[in-house]
Amino acid sequence: MPEELAARAEAVEAEFMYQYESSAPPSIAAALGITTTRIGGGVALSMRHDPTGYWSKALGFGFDEPVTAGLVDRVLDFYRSEGSVGAVLQIAPSVLPADWADIARRHGLRPGGRIVKLACPIEDFTPAGETALRIEHVGPGDARAWASVVLKGFGMPEEGLAEMLVAVAGHPNWRPFAAWEGDRIVGGASLFLHGEVASLNSGAVLADHRNRGAQSALIAARVREAASAGCRWLVAETGEPAEGVGNPSLNNMLRAGLQRLYTRQSWIWSPGGIS
């Protein structure tokens, strides 16, 4: 696996997560307790009042500056200073140091979920499947409904988080797309442009409209947009399924030509951990 591609894959994810949270309107940032910072080439994102346990995470490390005990100390000091109730560290396996087990043990980091990182040159993408649903770019008038559907698709509450998603919808590097049945949005997804790299993220479909080709069609629409914008690489990530359990999002991306780069272990930190 080329190290440069791993660096790009981690950087684009770190940047879109940073923009999601740092772009929240001031009133929403205050209500959710959002603070963001850049450390050692990566980002650390804290949401003290996160109703989901998803948004406090640190990622993008190991390429501008090596992952060391000192770097991890700086990241966790940030979370302690913010009064965070917990956070997740996500570091590509190729940049974990030889003493990572000792670092994790010292801070009481425990393994969490595993994330599959995928990528491919944009010319290797192959559209897969068809849908009768209408797939279009989301304009300002539909941004709130789009955010609502994305959050519902992931099983997340809307309060505060919907406004956070809407805030990036009009940014020039963000291209939200939706699947409509008639005049109702039933699925949504985002494209984030970062230089030559396009990130396919935030794809979700309402439970009663799954298995109708919406996910594959949303992927295809975003890839066409990325190609028009001059991007050369597609990058995405999704949860690694448990043994014997399928992941439709992973299957859809593999069918479309994206390839597994690596699987990244998440590491969970809580204030009561060893330090």
Mean pLDDT value across residues 164-169: 96
Identify residue 80 by its one-letter amino acid code.
R
This prediction has a pTM of 0.95
- Count Cα atoms within 13 angstroms, Cβ side, for 145: 15
Neighbour count for residue 143 (Cβ, 10 Å): 20
Q: How many residues does the chain have?
A: 275
Note the pLDDT of residue 151: 98
How far is Cα 23 from Cα 25, in angstroms, rounded to an integer?
6
Residue (of 24, 59, 29, 65) closest to 43 by Cα position: 59
Predicted local confidence at residue 94, as pLDDT: 96
Distance CA 81, CA 244 (A): 41
Confidence of residue 75 (pLDDT cuts 50, 70, 90): very high
pLDDT at 80: 97
> Do 144 and 258 fall within a single domain?
yes
pLDDT at position 245 over 80: no
Q: In this model, does residue 3 exceed pLDDT 90?
A: no
Count of domains forming the chain: 2
Residues 143 and 78 in one domain: no
pLDDT tens, residue by residue, 139-163: 999 999 999 999 999 999 999 999 9
User: Do 153 and 73 have their domain in common?
Assistant: no
> Does the structure show a pLDDT above 80 at 33?
yes
Domain that holds residue 257: 122-262
Same-domain pairing of 135 and 193: yes
* Structure-block tokens of residue 175: 């291209």
Claim to verify: residue 69 and residue 161 sit in the same structural domain: no
Angstrom distance (rounded) from CA 190 to CA 137:
10
